[in-house]
Amino acid sequence: MNVKLFSGLGVAIVTPFKSNGSIDYDSWDTMIKTINDVVDYIVLFGTTGESPVIELEEKQEAIQYFKNKLNGKTKLVIGIGGNNTNKVIQEINKLDLSGVSGILSVCPYYNKPSQQGIFAHYKAISEASPLPIIAYNVPGRTVINIEANTSLRLANELDNVIALKEATADLDQLMNILNDRPDNFTVLCGDDALALPFISVGADGVISVIANAFPRAFAKMTAFTLEGKMDLARQYHYALLPLMHTLLKMGNPMGIKAVLTIMGRINEHFRLPLVPITRENYKILEKEVENTIKRLSIIDADLF
């Protein structure tokens, strides 16, 4: 097994919907043309893909669609997680995961398990999974933090948990994980604005939201940072940073879906309980997208 399977840049792809609530495959067609061969892998039905409102049958249909569209050029990761361990295992067992490279599985939310409970959850699904697992720590959504010692237990004791998506701003926790992890354990940034500093202290890459809209620019930033070409990396980082901060204020995936609508790639539809951003915020994003394109064009005219 390639234990650095998920280094580099992954994109947490949005799920576009039609006005009737069905998945908009035509919009996915448009998006794939901009990201295939640019990113290292696509994460389907993560948080950005509105995973809580996607049915099992829709997941299966989408997996087959992406397998056909990507044609082996870009790896595919599927989000399968939740706060009911047995249901997560059932979903893994029911889905045909052939052609999928890995599973992104979020820390159990709402139940507030102990650190031992978190470990036991991942142990159970790792034993049931035919694919390698990326554990996902996002305490801003789950309320529970996967502490550094627990992440290291996952890395050292569960062969099938090969990576961690760390979506916190806690650099001290990150560095404790990086300092003590086994060499074959991948650590990924889960926050676009922190990708550069995370990678600079040893993280292996990032699972990105903004790469939905600006995949080539974010791919260059990621690659330059991994190569240690920090002067170049910082140019792209700071060109994108104002938009990344604005998106954070708008909420995910509401902000990035608005950006993609502004750029003509999808239509801004959601399934409840999510709804579009306000028209006032939409106008703010329109201006920020325009300014981002101007900043990027100055440093790299070939992007557009």
Eight-class DSSP state of 194: G
Cβ-proximal residues to 22 (8 Å cutoff; 6+ apart), any chain: none
Tell me how far apart the alpha carbons of residues 250 and 3 are, in angstroms, rounded to a whole number: 35
Residue 165 known to be catalytic: yes
Q: How buried is 266 (Cβ within 10 angstroms: 0-12 exposed, 13-18 middle, 19+ buried)?
A: buried
C-alpha R_g of the chain:
18
59, 165, 220, 257: the catalytic one is: 165
Please, are residues 203 and 187 in contact by the beta-carbon 8 Å criterion? yes
CA–CA–CA angle 58, 64, 67 (5° rounding): 135
Q: Return the closest-CA partner of residue 204 out of 189, 183, 221.
A: 189
DSSP secondary structure of 173-219 = HHHHHHHHS-TT-EEEE--GGGHHHHHHTT--EEEESGGGT-HHHHH
Tell me how far apart the alpha carbons of residues 285 and 121 are, in angstroms, rounded to a whole number: 39
Residue count of the chain: 304
CA–CA–CA angle 138, 139, 141 (5° rounding): 80
> Please, what is the end-to-end C-alpha distance for the chain in angstroms?
37
C-alpha distances (whole Å) from 195 to each of 146, 201, 261 are 19, 10, 25
Residue type, 248: L
Tell me how far apart the alpha carbons of residues 7 and 128 are, in angstroms, rounded to a whole number: 24
136, 220, 236, 257: the catalytic one is: 136
Residues with catalytic function? 136, 165
